[in-house]
Chains A and B, each alone.
Chain A
């Protein structure tokens, strides 16, 4: 088993979820605009609660995390920035687990 790196998690969030799944590329957002400090619910991303829930479900599936019920406040805190969402993954993923294929 290969440990998941922080870089892999952030890369998945930025490339697979934000640019591809949420299709932010169509709104002019580029990969170079995204980093761990990027706020998710504020401009220019301006994600709403449906978007952020999709991010959480996306990382849970990708990294085989146990599903967790999140209150709206939990969701806001978890998805404050790309970095806080990555924290959510690193806190809960088994360190010897490989990313799901």
Chain B
């Protein structure tokens, strides 16, 4: 976890919904914490056993689809953009690279996504709709890295 002294106000479930446009059944961030400079965010999510996709992915062998791990990392990055802007930011995932899926995430497991801002089009607060942002992301279950990828988000509105 982030060192306690760097943690700013954690984004609770309520504030995650204030900062993100996503909603159930496609919301994969329960709460988020960020460093004091708002360059890194960590989002937590528990993949409940009753999730709709487990029935088909795969019957009798349910695991979280890799694309949803990418989505969780993208939503965590999106929350970071919202925290930086101080309002809801609706961002589209427009690029991914160097993705690796290293360990399965199973029903009922809680994982932590980390999104670190690596490309910001301008000083904090100056970027707006139409801007692109790049992130290095990963998802961990305890000490085990389950996924890593580089993502690009586009601030839509």
Say yes or no for A100: interface residue by CB 8 A criterion. Answer: no
Report A42-59 CB contacts with B as 1/0, cut-off 8 Å.
000000101100100000
A54 to B114, CA, bound (A): 21
User: How many residues of chain A are within 8 Å of chain B by beta carbon?
Assistant: 8
Q: How large is the interface on B (under 10, 10 to 19, 20 to 34, 35 or more residues)?
A: under 10
Q: Is the CB of A23 within 8 A of B148?
A: yes
List B residues at the A interface (Cβ < 8 Å). Answer: 98, 100-102, 114, 116, 136, 138, 148
- Given contact pairs A22-B148, A26-B116, A50-B102, enumerate 10 new A-B contacts (beta carbons under 8 Å): A21-B98, A23-B136, A23-B148, A26-B136, A26-B138, A48-B102, A50-B100, A51-B100, A54-B98, A54-B100
**Listed A/B pairs (17) with beta-carbon separation below 8 Å:** A21-B98, A22-B148, A23-B136, A23-B138, A23-B148, A26-B114, A26-B116, A26-B136, A26-B138, A48-B102, A50-B100, A50-B101, A50-B102, A51-B100, A51-B102, A54-B98, A54-B100
